[in-house]
Structure 1
């Protein structure tokens, strides 16, 4: 009668059906009438009510069960999977957050592949769940027992880290989140895929150009050999991923690498970091465009059109231009001296093409204008040209109607802003140009 169960209907069918449908009232009534229904399991996988709620994203039912403290948040099914693992697998971010809040253990392994909830979020491409779990790892007992860096690089039974899984499954957003949180870009697998594979090998195998871009920008080695003696370029060719192979070809130009070891880079505020990351991406994509133009016919360009760049240029006609390249807006300010430059020229000072493993203490760049050691980079306050300080600004040139990405990337080829400084000497005071030509060096 009503919402009650018929005489011949097994009670587990009733409670699990109510949980799957998100019928909060019925689930609550059944738990009140007989709390033992929560001890029942469903199907061959032996799912609990909490597993079913987490997998189906029934946050109201899940919250009710957890708030009443009538069920263990770390209850496991037949394969030692927790509700948190199933929530991460299905991308149910609110369920992930609620389970973590209720004390779910993020350091539990299943019995299928020895994976954690972090592996599941990376494998299935749920970057929001991945970030929530990583954020929790800073404040849970994991940080004290394992350490955060060890957790980010945790391996499953096959020797794969979450970064390996994200790269193999073509999950560029997850690759970015993991790298930004300290994942080792050149870690080798055990038995997952081909033994000795790095994330770059697996991205090449999966044919994800976006993942390849992310990994290269964080210093992945194109010459790293797996256990079979293959480099990522060979893997991409074998699986007929021509675009990935072109970018991974050791004979092609090396990409710019994000200078993560530098202390002032790691402490960037989100706005400044976003500006620099965007500039690095544009520079590498311009390089990639040139490579693909020679090797892959009729591929769509990943860059924005020149028309879009021109529209932005027209809007910026009355604001400061970078005194190095005279083309981009001044968006980055150097601390403590306060000089400003565009993000592209900042990258020319701070980035490198290939990390040097022998250098444990990277050289901190200096300001190209006053030679002061750079201690911090912040977002610049864009000023109108009539408010510029005389000693900070030469005669303002007319903004170019051509996108500066290709022009800026030419200075990146040598990883030195010398060519840009040379142009500055033709348009501004000879004093600054002379100082730069005498003292500037490659980062």
Structure 2
């Protein structure tokens, strides 16, 4: 069992051990981010219908689309994209996109939605890792196939350590290594 802090690595939204919460914690819980994190579609819709901006960032620079993409909430992602959430938004710290988060977490249906909404698979985070790097390091074959189909040049992108996506694949995963070989 994971603790709330382990559930989302971007920032610490775990319950405070004191009786009072900080203003940041209260804002997160009341904002659209908590609803997106927890897959509460009705709350996300209410936020948007009330005039809320789907690209509103929390104090860590994450949007609701980042949270729902990371946690696999297809319906919330769909609602956000239908209401013009930016599929290419990047965090202030790390330069991470929702596509990075979905690819790393193995959420194939969300990767499909994001690509359909024109999320760029070529955007790299501050470590110069593309969503393909993130998916390859976790061995997500179907997502790697989708990303390579979206843009074959992804297999040639090197991160800040000089590594290609294929360099993150376990030696035993021959089929994924084959897919990611430069041709």
Aligned-partner Cα distance in 2 for 1:171–1:156: 22
Contact 1:122 1:171 in 2 (8 A): no
Partner of 1:121: 135
**Structural mapping, 1:54-69, within 5 Å:** 54-69=69-84
Aligned-partner Cα distance in 1 for 2:63–2:172: 30
Q: Does 1:73 align with 2:76?
A: no
1:11, distance to aligned residue in structure 2 (A):
3.9
**Structural mapping, 1:273-422, within 5 Å:** none
Q: Does 1:165 align with 2:168?
A: yes
1:104, distance to aligned residue in structure 2 (A):
0.3
Aligned-partner Cα distance in 2 for 1:19–1:103: 20
Contact 1:152 1:178 in 2 (8 A): no
1:19, distance to aligned residue in structure 2 (A):
1.0
Partner of 1:269: none
1:35, distance to aligned residue in structure 2 (A):
1.5
Q: Does 1:179 align with 2:178?
A: yes
Q: Which runs of 4+ in 1 moved over 4 A?
A: none
Aligned-partner Cα distance in 2 for 1:87–1:182: 23
Higher relative contact order (CA 8 A, sep 6+): 2
Partner of 2:62: 47
Q: Does 1:102 align with 2:108?
A: no
Q: What is the number of residues matched between the two proteins?
A: 158
Name the TM-score, length of structure 2 as normaliser. 0.78
RMSD between superposed Cα atoms in Å? 2.0
Task: Return closer, same or farther for 1:17/1:151 CA change in 2, 3 Å cut-off.
Answer: closer
User: For each residue in 1:344-388, what CA deviation from the matched residue of structure 2 results, as whole angstroms up to 9, or x when unmatched?
Assistant: xxxxxxxxxxxxxxxxxxxxxxxxxxxxxxxxxxxxxxxxxxxxx
Aligned-partner Cα distance in 2 for 1:68–1:25: 14
Name the TM-score, length of structure 1 as normaliser. 0.34
Contact 2:165 2:180 in 1 (8 A): no
1:10 to 26, 45, 56: 26
Structure 1, unpaired ranges of 5+: 1-7, 138-147, 185-443
